[in-house]
Amino acid sequence: MIMTTPWFDEVAPGIGSLRVATDERPYFEEKALEFLRAAVQEVIANERLHAVLLEGGGRQFSGGAPADLLLSPDADKRVERLMAEAGRLLLEVPVPTIAVMSGHAVGGGLMLGLWCDLAVLAEESLYGANFLDLGFTPGMGSTVLAEEAFGVPLGRELLLTGRLIKGREIRASGAPIGYAVVPRSEVRSTALRRAREIADLPRDAVVLLKRHLASRRGNRLREALQEESAMHRALLTQPATRRRIAERYVSGDR
């Protein structure tokens, strides 16, 4: 059976797995948001959990919003709702979240992983904030997250050029997140090892620290989303933007 929505499972004592995409359906859609909301509530209610892995497909972690959503008549409003809630939900998870980014992570899909507390990336996979390449301005908190993860010079370059970059290039650049780049075959085991390290610590202390760190990041998220949403409203429904999105999806860019 092909899974098209996120689902939650416990994969080890004290460790959960929250799946947001599959290789068959790598996009993050509005229906997926409903399931993410329900799954996060399940995590919050499960006091046995000490850490949660955020997982996507093996070849594609997440490709962000699908073309039909971006090309809808009310795309500006729908995208704004999707962006505003996805990051907030991940910050509400009471225990640390670790993005298992074995596959490519592009646009909003990359940002979904970067809103986690930790992330593990693959040497062989592609990562990037290709919003401008699709014809519209960056979203999903990327104006904050790109510089946070990649450092100001590289983060700004990725936002302004829309280019994709392999994990090994991220590591070679000395980017802050470069330490977390490993061979693709080791991504999940590395993430699971970090989750087990967290699970060995006193849960109450971990939860308290996570709440503090998430509160600070949440403030930055809200400010970034307000600014990004204003830019989206100015561009997303314009005919030129819609043509560019359609062309880039058809060309296989995503």
Per-residue pLDDT 10s for the chain (254 aa) are 334 445 788 899 999 999 888 888 888 888 878 888 888 888 889 999 999 999 999 999 998 888 888 888 888 888 878 877 888 899 999 999 999 999 999 999 999 999 999 999 999 999 999 999 999 999 899 999 999 999 999 999 999 999 999 999 999 999 999 999 999 999 999 999 999 999 999 999 999 999 999 999 999 888 998 899 888 888 888 899 888 988 887 544 44
Structure tokens at 54: 């955020």
Q: Which residues contact 201 (CB under 8 A, 6 or more apart)?
A: 50
**Do β-strands 60-62 and 104-106 pair in parallel, antiparallel, or remain unpaired?**
parallel
Q: What is the pLDDT of residue 26?
A: 86
Q: In DSSP terms, which residues pair with 60 in a beta bridge? A: 104
pLDDT score at 22: 86
CA atoms of 223 and 132, how far apart (whole Å): 20
* Torsion (CA) 159, 160, 163, 167 in degrees, nearest 10: -40
DSSP state of 6: -
Handedness of CA 229, 128, 35, 3 (dihedral sign): positive
Q: Backbone phi, then psi, for 111, in 5-degree steps?
A: -65, -35
Residue ranges covered by each domain of the chain:
7-185
Q: Can you give the pLDDT at residue 6? A: 53
The CATH number fitting domain 7-185, selected from 3.90.226.10, 3.30.565.10, 1.10.3720.10, 3.40.640.10? 3.90.226.10
Token pair 């470069």: residue: 178
Q: What is the dihedral of CA 172, 175, 180, 182, to 10 degrees?
A: -20
